[in-house]
Amino acid sequence: MSRVKNVFSKGKAFIAFITAGDPNLETTEKLIPAMSQAGADLIEIGIPFSDPIAEGVVIQNASERALAAGATTDKIFDMLERVRKKTSVPLAFMTYVNPVFVYGVERFMKRAAACGIDAMVVPDLPFEEKEELLSSCQARGIDLISLIAPTSKHRISMIAAGAEGFVYCVSSLGVTGVRSRITTDIAEMVALVKAARDIPCAIGFGISTPEQARTMAGYADGVIVGSAIVKIAEQYGVECVGPISAYVRQMKAAIE
């Protein structure tokens, strides 16, 4: 059974994203327990991909830095095995379908389960193609997270009906990145999900400030923050653990 159900059991969830291996894997290894301590309820670990088409420049650059520093899927698994001895925080992988497919879906999920991965977020695997990973995920108790977007409209009920863990609500059109304003009718999106299925909803894309997090948390069960954290990693490099922990603490406090 995945730990994802625990994520939403203690009030609004704060979900934090980092790119594994940015600036290096030793730093990621320290960041995960530190972010958990600071209040992150679920940590999304990005496996860097050469061509992240759903990503804005901040996470694109982080992927490039991580790959240039030598991060590979195997080294990320090794790092997570060590991390799992220190923390039981729920963990998700965020990656594109190709790194999983080429590694071998079964082989990938076996290792992912062994290091305690609870969920998979794969932005280029829409509902129509999820069979690619679904049975292997299910066999290992890993939730394959469904995404819905502002354009999903009548697709929402179909997607929600088959969702596992939680539904990732993409707040805005376009790619990931910090946004000053989120204009989508998030309340309606969430209502459409809930009408189809009683499942937690977390909102991601564009959230960076405590005020935005508080507003978004008002509409849903959790918020997901990526680019804003990755920017701190970019700014502080190997010294980022302190500043990121402080940021996570502030964001978690804002939604409580």
Partner 1 sequence: MKKGRFGNYGGQYIPETLMNAVLELEEAYEYYRKDEHFQLELDELMKNYAGRPSILYYAQKMTRDLGGAKIYLKREDLNHTGSHKINNVLGQALLAKKMGKTRVIAETGAGQHGVATATAAALMDLECEIFMGREDTQRQALNVFRMELLGAKVNVVESGTQTLKDAVNETMREWTSRMDDTYYVLGSVMGPHPYPTIVRDFQKMIGKEIKEQLQAVEHRLPDAVIACVGGGSNAIGAFYEFIDDPTVQLIGCEAAGLGVDNPKNAATLANGSVGIFHGMKSYFCQDEFGQIAPVYSISAGLDYPGIGPEHAMLADTGRAQYVPVTDLEAVEAFEYLSRTEGIIPAIESAHAVAYACRLAPKMAGDKIIVINISGRGDKDVAAIARYRGVKIDE
How many other β-carbons are positioned within 10 Å of the β-carbon of residue 178?
18
Phi-psi region of 2 (alpha: psi -120 to 50; beta: other; left: phi over 0): beta
* Among residues 80, 137, 147, 233, the one that binds partner 1 under rule CB under 8 A: 147
Closest CA to 174 of 55, 83, 73, 87: 55
**With respect to partner 1, which residue has the nearer C-beta, 81 or 129?**
129
Binding piece for partner 1, criterion CB under 8 A, among 11-19, 25-33, 149-157, 194-202 = 149-157
35: contact with partner 1 by CB under 8 A: no
Q: Where are the alpha helices (DSSP H) in 115-161?
A: 131-139, 156-161
Supply 13's token pair: 């969830």
- Contact flag: residue 123 with partner 1 (CB under 8 A): yes
Nearer to partner 1, 150 or 165 (CB): 150
> Which residue has 């030598």 as its token pair?
70
Q: How far is the CB of 149 from partner 1 (least distance, A)?
A: 4
Instruction: Write the binding mask 177 to 196 for partner 1: x where contact by CB under 8 A, - elsewhere.
Output: --------------------
C-beta closer to partner 1: residue 49 or 247: 49
Under the binding rule (CB under 8 A), the answer on residue 237 touching partner 1 is no
Q: What interhelical angle do 227-236 and 241-255 show, nearest 10?
A: 160
CB of 137 to partner 1, least distance (A): 16
- Spatial strand order of the sheet with 119-121 comes to 143-144, 119-121, 91-94, 42-46, 13-19, 222-225, 201-204, 167-170, 146-148
79/125 with CB nearer partner 1? 125
Q: Is 155 in the site for partner 1 (CB under 8 A)?
A: yes
Q: Is 197 in the site for partner 1 (CB under 8 A)?
A: no
CB within 8 Å of 41: residues ≥ 6 apart: 6, 7, 8, 10, 13, 14, 15, 89, 90, 222, 252
**Which region, judged by CB under 8 A, interacts with partner 1, from 2-10, 151-159, 194-202, 218-226?**
151-159
Task: State the residues that interact with partner 1 by CB under 8 A.
Answer: 49-51, 53-54, 56-57, 60, 67, 72-74, 97-103, 123-129, 132, 147-153, 155, 159, 170, 173-175
